[in-house]
Structure 1
Amino acid sequence: KILFWDTNGFWLYYRRLEQGRFQWPKQTNEHTAMGIEQRQLQWLLSGLPVSNQTRHPTLSGLSVM
């Protein structure tokens, strides 16, 4: 569940996996909030682990003939 404030109210986002569990990263201190990047949130919502994930490098100058 994600609680998001938008201008004049909250949105509640809810997602359920049909099988398995979301692979939420381990927190060092359970009393503090943990920040994640947008792409990490996308990975989580897709059922992928956040730890040890790196994106493919951006390529430029490629052409298809």
Structure 2
Amino acid sequence: MLVDFTTVQNIFIICGHTDMRCGIDGLASVVSDKYNLDLFNDAIFLFCGRKKDRYKALYWDRDGFMLLYKRIENGNLQWPKDQDEVKKLTAQELRWLLEGLSIQQPKAIKPAKTGCLY
């Protein structure tokens, strides 16, 4: 069964490089042990190795884990380098990242802060 990841509530990127030889159990261990995140809370977790032309995604699909792997033929990802950080992304930031752009677009219109306008 394919999942529409645009409906996933939580998108997390594991910054820095991850050993891409890891499978489901190894990546799940990184998420739960190193970052103390809930693997089962409608979340997708993204990992990248030293080569920035491939990534893995881990997702709990109610009855088991899905592990997705993609190798990009032309280009590289703009993967954040801070080795000990995990970031929560918006759907727009995920699109930027997977299109080879930085998740911090300097010219993007930022969402307005709610509250008093004056």
Q: Pick the TM interval, shorter chain.
A: 0.5 to 0.7
**Moved segments of 4+, more than 4 Å:** none
- Cα deviation per residue 1:32-63 (whole Å; 9 max; x = unaligned)? 42221121111111222212252599xxxxxx
Partner of 1:11: 66
Report deviation, 1:20. 2.3
Structure 2, unaligned runs of 5 or more: 1-55, 112-118
CA distance, structure 1, for counterparts of residue 109 and residue 74 of structure 2: 25
Residue among 21, 37, 50 paired with 2:103: 50
The letter for the 2-side match of 1:2 is: A
| Higher normalized strand content (fraction of residues) | 2
| Higher normalized helix content (fraction of residues) | 2
The letter for the 2-side match of 1:17 is: I
The letter for the 2-side match of 1:10 is: F
Partner of 2:57: 2
Partner of 1:31: 84
Identity %: 40
Instruction: Provide the TM-score with structure 1 as the length reference.
Output: 0.61
Q: Relative to structure 1, is the Cα distance of residues 16 and 55 closer, same or farther in structure 2, using a 3 angstrom cutoff?
A: farther
Number of aligned residues = 55
RMSD, matched Cα: 2.4
Q: Relative to structure 1, is the Cα distance of residues 55 and 13 closer, same or farther in structure 2, using a 3 angstrom cutoff?
A: farther
Report deviation, 1:23. 0.7
